[in-house]
Amino acid sequence: MSWNDLAARVLDGYAANFDDALSVLRSADDELLPLLDAAYRLRRAHHGNDVRIHVLQNAKSGVCPEDCSFCSQSMAFDSGVERYRMQSVDEIVEGARRAHAMQAVKYCIVTATRGPSAGELDTVCEAVRQIKAEMDINICTSLGLLKDGQAEQLVAAGVTRFNHNLETARRFFPEICSTHDFEDRIETVRAAKRAGLEACCGGIMGMGETEEDRAALAFELRELEVESIPVNFLDPRPGTPLAGIGRMSPKDCLRTLCMFRFVNPTRDIRIAGGREVNLRRLQPLSLYPANSLFVDGYLTTGGQGYEADIQMIEDAGFRVAAIVAE
Ligand code: SF4
């Protein structure tokens, strides 16, 4: 069966299975363009040629007590990343103005923390109320593990989506984090959804996981019915335990994005951190399976810059998605 045949079946309602996912990940280099074409059929059917732009705000940096081995924001590692406590309401609102000027459909407020304190949550909620009163932009927050009632507070303030990545497959998770477990993350995603928030939930590729692990993550996300899937490619950070791991090949990055599209055909699939350094010259091809980008860099690393991101979208024949207030 050709990749286009598989795409046609998925468009007809067939749910790609684990073997399909592995076939995508293990496909030959000379199948890459047909594979991208097939993934694009799914992307186009559900998202047209729009590219949804998201902008990140690192509202609390480098002071997380957890020990995720890929993360430069863990206090367990000497990564040299900038460290600061919670930003003020004014700083977070100012970030939203920048994001709005960059045509972002989502402004993503992120804190490096196990979970938000009551005071931190109050700061985020007040900032969100002020942002929503001032401009049309949708708000996602990524604040770590949530306690009872915290998701509801975010909803009341005007947040519509909550990010909490699973990071990797259930099997591999204990190898990258010892301070919380996979089920903690699943429960926070479920709590966010129960409260009425959309879930943004993805992972990081290239941490030493197997192809089966990558596929297993895509199926966990399908099971959780997450609305948005950020796919990061490890950009090894100095000082972290994964500092010595090599980067993925651009072709493996593309196969991975196609796999996520086949398994989760209707979802927002966002190319996240590590895009520029892993995909290199093949970056524009990633817009065929994926329909969303973080622009203007990431939490602790710079990207290629906003102007280059927009140029890439337009040169490849895609267009920046308009903001639709949620
Ligand atoms: S919980 Fe988040 S911020 Fe903290 S170390 Fe893990 S990935 Fe980094």
pLDDT at 53: 93
Query: What is the DSSP secondary structure assignment for residue 233, as one 8-state letter?
Result: E
From 311, 178, 290, 189, select the one nearest 233 (Cα to Cα). Answer: 290
What's the CA-to-centroid distance between 77 and ligand 1, angstroms?
A: 11
Indicate the residue type of 285. Answer: L
Indicate the residue type of 259. Answer: M
Question: Which of 56, 68, 75, 108 to probe ligand 1 with, by most ligand atoms within 8 A of CB?
Answer: 68
pLDDT at 276: 95
Residues with CB under 6 A from ligand 1: 64, 66, 68, 71, 73-74, 112, 144
Task: Report the predicted TM-score, pTM, of the whole model to 2 decimal places.
Answer: 0.95
**C-alpha 278: how far from chain center:** 15
Give Cβ neighbours of residue 30 (< 8 Å, ≥ 6 apart). none
pLDDT at 297: 82
Instruction: Pull the structure tokens for residue 125.
Output: 């909620």
**Which residue owns the Cα nearest ligand 1 atom 8?**
71
Question: Which of 74, 82, 200, 204 to probe ligand 1 with, by most ligand atoms within 8 A of CB?
Answer: 74
The H or E element containing residue 326 is none
pLDDT at 180: 94
Question: Which of 61, 70, 73 to probe ligand 1 with, by most ligand atoms within 8 A of CB?
Answer: 73
What's the CA-to-centroid distance between 64 and ligand 1, angstroms?
A: 6
Maximum Cα interatomic distance, the chain, rounded to a whole number of Å:
56
Cα distance between residue 170 and residue 177, in whole Å: 11
Cα distance between residue 194 and residue 180, in whole Å: 21
What's the CA-to-centroid distance between 40 and ligand 1, angstroms?
A: 33
Question: Read out DSSP for 51-88?
Answer: EEEEEEEEEEBS-B----TT-TTBTTS------B-PPP
Q: Which residues in the chain land under pLDDT 70?
A: none
Domains of the chain: 15-320 (3.20.20.70)
pLDDT at 134: 95
pLDDT at 296: 85
184-200 pLDDT, tens digit per residue, is 999 999 999 999 999 99
What's the CA-to-centroid distance between 63 and ligand 1, angstroms?
A: 9
pLDDT at 302: 85
Cα distance between residue 203 and residue 164, in whole Å: 9
**Which residue owns the Cα nearest ligand 1 atom 6?**
68
pLDDT at 240: 95
